[in-house]
Amino acid sequence: MEVISFVALAAGLIIGLGAFGACIGIGIMGSKYLESAARQPELMNELQTKMFLLAGLIDAAFIIGTGIALWFATANPFLGQIAAALAAGAK
């Protein structure tokens, strides 16, 4: 029973810290985009393309982390091994 709570805690940390990191990363990237667009307005279209590409990559990393966390929460492949180890230790 204790192992399930640790899996839930780990999944929550993966999702929460991933979201926090993605938000910070996109916020910093957006501020740098606005700063560089103000300095050189003629490069605004090229910078915007690169900014949206990087925003997609940052979001993709967060969504992959969320998918892995939800996979562990619903179908933990280590749960059977842990239960067998606990049963062997109790004998």
Rg of the chain in Å (alpha carbons)? 21
The answer to whether 16 is a known catalytic residue is no
User: Catalytic pick from 34, 49, 57, 59?
Assistant: 59
Integer Cα distance of 16 and 71 in angstroms: 15
Integer Cα distance of 40 and 43 in angstroms: 6
Q: Say which amino acid occupies 33.
A: Y
**Please, are residues 29 and 58 in contact by the beta-carbon 8 Å criterion?**
yes
> Which residues are the active-site residues?
59
